[in-house]
Amino acid sequence: MEPSRGPRFAILASRIFDGFVLGGPGAVLVEDGKIKGIGLPADVPSDLPRAELPEGATLAPGFIDLQVNGGGGVLLNDAPTVDSMRAIAAAHRRFGVTGLLPTFITDAPAGLRALVAAAPAAVAEIPGVLGVHCEGPFINTARKGVHREDFIRTPGEGDIEALLSLGRAGRSMVTLAPESVPAGFVASLARAGIRVSAGHSDASAAQVLAAADEGLTGVTHLFNAMSQMQGRAPGVVGAAMADKRLFVGVIADGLHVDPVALRTAYAACGAERLMLVSDAMSSVGAEADRFVLMGREVRLQDGRLTTAEGTLAGAHLAMDQAVRNAVSLMAVPIEHALAMAARIPATFLGLGHELGRIAPGYTASLVALDQNLDVIGTWIAGQPDFRPGDPSA
């Protein structure tokens, strides 16, 4: 590894997943928050501070979660503030998440305005917050899921201006129903640098493909709250599987989507378009087995979050478990599971040149995993967050 100036340290691991290939043993040299080089443990100078991972551990790009409603007992819709996003990001760090989009679901216009106002500061101040995700309110009531129908609406005067400002808040994302917004709405958001995704939608495949022509590039939680695939009506699911322009998020908890359907999605989309998301609620990283979402109690039972009516209300899922589930339920190689949790979402966000890989020049946002794929350490831009006593601290 090339010697360099300034504060630096090395991470030594039995295995290193660089975003494409799993190899090792190896050593990653970090300097000023960036990856300076990759080499063999023997290349590391004896006087260089180092973090030596346990035998059999893997160092990988940190997970990027595009759909995080809450965590650690905090729900973003309760208070769309910088402090809430800081708490949510901190709660998910122990699960390997070094980049995330705090997610705000359909709510009153005042709540959306508060989120938009807080987003730039959250991105600037909170390590790992890459932007925000507005899931709604421009969705189809026929596919509303747990979203409150009285807050679902079509875009009105001022909505486009409010959302366009998210283009200045990192790499933000909007989930909408293409059939519920006027022509040109998707294109306006896409031109502002916002990632637009189809979700909570009853659109035909033709409507989804027309939206993709305008700049829609994603599909939110595949199979859930959307028109399903049929032989003569492919719906959102069919469009997602067929159109290579679309990145596809999936909740791999085994509850939202049957394992057979997960394997079908993987077969159709491959690891280069499929992205693991948690859709996590405030119960993740907390002790409570119930919470209130938009005035309705949600209970956790047998790993499932539901309202009193039995409607699924987000997921009690963390990204490290989603990775393990991808291996066990989706039957994918570990390399593909790790890529779907990091490199693919980074690419979707337009950050594939700086996140999602272990390569020289990339940001040193990393996760360390033991042989069971349990998280034993994280770093964000070279700063350790989950390794007490790390010499790089």
What's the mean pLDDT in 75-81? 98
Q: Flag whether 392 is in a domain.
A: no
In a domain, 389, yes or no: no
- The verdict on whether residue 146 carries a ligand-binding annotation is yes
Which is catalytic among the residues 107, 279, 320, 385? 279
**Are 69 and 34 in the same domain?**
no
How much is the pLDDT for 386?
A: 57
Backbone phi, psi, residue 242, to 5°: -90, -35
pLDDT bin (cut points 50, 70, 90) of residue 6 is very low
pLDDT for 156: 87
Looking at the fold, whether 82 and 165 belong to one and the same domain comes out as: yes
User: For 43, how many CA atoms within 13 A lie in the half-sphere containing its CB?
Assistant: 16
| Structural domain boundaries enclosing 364 | 8-60+356-384
pLDDT > 70 in the chain, percent: 96
Smallest Cα–Cα separation from 367: which of 96, 93, 87, 68? 96
pLDDT tens digits for range 250-271:
999 999 999 999 999 999 999 9
CB 283 within 8 A of CB 300: yes
Between the two ends of the chain, the Cα-to-Cα distance in Å is: 22
The C-alpha atoms of residue 20 and residue 281 are separated, in whole angstroms, by 30
Q: How many CB atoms lie under 10 A from the CB of residue 344? A: 27
| Number of domains observed in the structure of the chain | 2
Q: Looking at the domain assignment, is residue 151 inside a domain?
A: yes
Place of tokens 């393990």: 324
Is residue 313 marked as binding?
Answer: yes
Looking at the structure, tell me whether residues 34 and 178 fall in a common domain. Answer: no
> Do 188 and 232 fall within a single domain?
yes
Rounded-to-integer distance, Cα 365 and Cα 381, Å = 5
Q: Is residue 390 part of a domain?
A: no
Average pLDDT over residues 3-25: 85
Instruction: Report the pLDDT value the prediction gives residue 219, as an integer from 0 to 100.
Output: 99
Taking only the tens place, the pLDDT of each residue in 336-363 is 999 999 999 999 999 999 999 999 999 9
Tell whether 393 is covered by a domain: no
Query: Is 391 part of any domain?
Result: no
Which of 361, 337, 390 lies closest to 60, judged by CA? 337
Percent of the chain past pLDDT 90, that is, above it, reads: 93
177 shares its domain with 259: yes
Instruction: Indicate if 385 belongs to the active site.
Output: no
List pLDDT tens digits, range 218-251: 999 999 999 999 999 999 999 999 999 999 999 9
User: Domain for residue 303, yes or no?
Assistant: yes
**Are residue 36 and residue 67 in the same domain, yes or no?**
no
Specify whether 291 is located in the same domain as 324. yes
307 and 379 in a single domain? The answer is no
Among 78, 19, 128, 100, smallest CA distance to 319 is for 100
Same domain, 303 and 361: no
Is 156 annotated for ligand binding? Answer: no
Tell me if 1 is assigned to some domain.
no
Q: How far apart are CA 325 and CA 304, in angstroms?
A: 15
CATH number at 81 reads: 3.20.20.140
Same domain, 36 and 14: yes
Higher-scoring residue by pLDDT: 7, 317: 317
CATH number of the CATH domain containing 365: 2.30.40.10
When pLDDT is averaged across residues 15-21 and rounded to a whole number, the result is: 98
Residue 140 counted as an annotated binding residue: no
- 314 and 368 co-located in one domain: no
221 known member of a binding site = yes
The reply to whether 327 sits in an annotated binding site is no
Based on the fold, state whether residues 360 and 233 are members of the same structural domain.
Answer: no
Is 77 assigned to a binding site?
no
